[in-house]
Structure 1
């Protein structure tokens, strides 16, 4: 069995676009006619340029190769061009193609991917959701309203979720770590208080920051949140200085989580050695794919750390997360995004049921991609999957993080 053909589809979820402005899906076909699907997570370049990168990686390293040779394929790509170090763009291309190989192998063996990763460890997977506006909420007001966030949190707990994530802490800025405004610290503590009062002990609070703060600022913010006992303090400092994140972990009594912007065992290993985080959040469409993150899970197990696969993408990456999560002993939970478009794109093959996901028993990733639907929603914008703002922290008028990258309304 050999890998012979590649198609790349860039699809844009309809407004409000939860999961990013676009998703890059790859369709790989073998000489035996088996098709596998993967997803390349947000890259540092636009989708048109990324499509060329994906094609180059496929033609240079995957074409004509046996999809069973996952380890060999990883080493070829990781070492290409005399690198042998993490490269987010190339690893993003590799990750989507690698996920497609696992889909092919599962279909070839007529077994779900988790069965090829050591078998089923977890019969159901605890899921968490980000807090998005309810239909009656004013979106422009939601992101700075503790009351609306608490209302959404209570609604998600009624659906069965036992953990909810939110991030009211300030601007999503390209300027690197900054000291939070006192108003941002107050807003964050108020969000935690309101949500904790709304859900009680029925759900964990997951506090996100997207690497916005410098070390001292992250410590100040984290200590202000301690009375509400969040389960994690996500990416409190930028991911480019692991020792600084370790300083935060030593000074805040909330477990630190990180990994959304990291790639390969090299970066995750450094996090574990430094004691910078106890919860790892790989995005499988960027971090190196399923097999590389299976290795990271084993490394984390040796450090008594847990895995919580990240998702701000489409349902193909989510399916990959589910199979990894089903196979590892140190799973904490998985992120989910419930929209009609996510569901329809995989024809409802996998769902969240009362706050948990049941790993599929069907071959491969266990999904059927609606290719016509994906092609009917092409991305025509110019922005990246996620877009960081130029403006710095506003210490006079307050800040608002607008919940990722919602697509513009028609």
Structure 2
């Protein structure tokens, strides 16, 4: 059995756009007629360009290959072109192709893919949600749920009643492309008010997950963490830029809140650095 065809699909996601503005899917088909579907997540380039990149990578390394030879494909893509280092865009593309190959393997063997990966361990898993605007409102709109403690608390109660055991929000300020900074006093004050309101509203029925998008210096993140510790968040996410695990580790050593990180990392090598430096106790690969 060999892979003989690839098709890519860029799917727009109309408002309220839960999950993002678009999705990129890849479909691989074998000479026996079995197809597998994968999803590519990367936001570094336009979706149509990423789709073309996936087609080019597949033409070089996937078409004509045995779909069961997933590790061989991964190594070829990762190491060719004199690269052999983590790259976020390549990682997203190869992940989508790998998903599609695993899908083919599952269909060929008549097994769920989790059985091929070692079998089911848990009967169910916890799930968390972001605090989003009401149904029908664009998630990218400037809604009160993102900045008003009472609105966030009301939303948190609704989500807990739906069955979520964790609620996540990031009121410390918008994502920045610049290096880490000190949080403004008003941003720290709003963050504490938001966390306090949500904790008062949901009590111990769910965990609070605090995101920052890697905005702060280590000292700035520590200042903010000290204000939040009394509300017992489950995690303080990516307090410093993701390319600075040593700085994140400084925060981890200075706060009682567990540090989480990883959504902007790719390959086991970058996650190894998180563990080696003691930067995070909760790993967040973007699957």
**TM-score band, normalised by shorter chain:** over 0.9
Residues in 1 aligned to 2:63 and 2:136: alpha-carbon distance in whole angstroms: 50
Residues in 2 aligned to 1:78 and 1:42: alpha-carbon distance in whole angstroms: 16
Residues in 2 aligned to 1:223 and 1:102: alpha-carbon distance in whole angstroms: 44
Q: Structure 2 length normalisation: TM-score?
A: 0.96
Deviation at 1:43, TM superposition (A): 3.3
Residues in 2 aligned to 1:67 and 1:205: alpha-carbon distance in whole angstroms: 41
Contact 1:7/1:27 (8 A) holds in 2: yes
Q: Does 1:270 align with 2:278?
A: no
Q: Does 1:244 align with 2:247?
A: yes
> Which gives a bigger RCO, structure 1 or 2 (Cα 8 Å, sep 6+)?
1
Deviation at 1:142, TM superposition (A): 2.5
Residues in 1 aligned to 2:143 and 2:123: alpha-carbon distance in whole angstroms: 40
Unaligned runs of 5+ in 2: none
Q: Structure 1 length normalisation: TM-score?
A: 0.68
SS in 1 for 2:127: strand
Q: In the TM superposition, what whole-angstrom CA distance separates every residue of 1:176-215 from its partner, at most 9, and x where no partner exists? A: 2111110110111111100001100000000011111111
Contact 1:133/1:139 (8 A) holds in 2: no
Contact 1:146/1:195 (8 A) holds in 2: yes
Residues in 1 aligned to 2:173 and 2:241: alpha-carbon distance in whole angstroms: 14
Task: Classify 1:136/1:197 alpha carbon distance in 2 versus 1 (closer, same or farther; 3 Å).
Answer: farther
Q: Which residue pairs with 2:3 in the alignment?
A: 3
Q: Which residue pairs with 2:215 in the alignment?
A: 212
Q: Does 1:106 align with 2:106?
A: yes
Residues in 1 aligned to 2:195 and 2:70: alpha-carbon distance in whole angstroms: 43
Q: In the TM superposition, what whole-angstrom CA distance separates every residue of 1:92-118 from its partner, at most 9, and x where no partner exists? A: 111100011111111111111100001
Deviation at 1:136, TM superposition (A): 8.8
Residues in 1 aligned to 2:121 and 2:256: alpha-carbon distance in whole angstroms: 30
Contact 1:133/1:148 (8 A) holds in 2: no
Deviation at 1:139, TM superposition (A): 4.8
Residues in 2 aligned to 1:38 and 1:170: alpha-carbon distance in whole angstroms: 33
Contact 1:39/1:99 (8 A) holds in 2: yes
Q: Which residue pairs with 1:72 in the alignment?
A: 72
Residues in 1 aligned to 2:111 and 2:147: alpha-carbon distance in whole angstroms: 46
* Aligned structure 1 segments of 4 or more residues deviating by more than 6 angstroms: none
Deviation at 1:80, TM superposition (A): 1.2
Q: Which residue pairs with 1:94 in the alignment?
A: 94
Contact 2:16/2:136 (8 A) holds in 1: no
Q: Does 1:33 align with 2:36?
A: no
Supply the RMSD in Å over aligned alpha carbons: 1.3
Residues in 1 aligned to 2:7 and 2:66: alpha-carbon distance in whole angstroms: 18
Q: Which residue pairs with 1:56 in the alignment?
A: 56
Q: Which residue pairs with 1:315 in the alignment?
A: none
Deviates more, 1:47-56 or 1:237-246: 47-56
Contact 2:146/2:169 (8 A) holds in 1: no
Task: Classify 1:118/1:238 alpha carbon distance in 2 versus 1 (closer, same or farther; 3 Å).
Answer: same
Deviation at 1:133, TM superposition (A): 1.3
Deviation at 1:141, TM superposition (A): 2.5
SS in 2 for 1:206: strand
Q: In the TM superposition, what whole-angstrom CA distance separates every residue of 1:234-262 from its partner, at most 9, and x where no partner exists? A: 11111011100111111111000011000
Deviation at 1:12, TM superposition (A): 1.3
Residues in 1 aligned to 2:18 and 2:243: alpha-carbon distance in whole angstroms: 26
The one of 217, 231, 236 aligned to 2:234: 231
SS in 2 for 1:126: coil
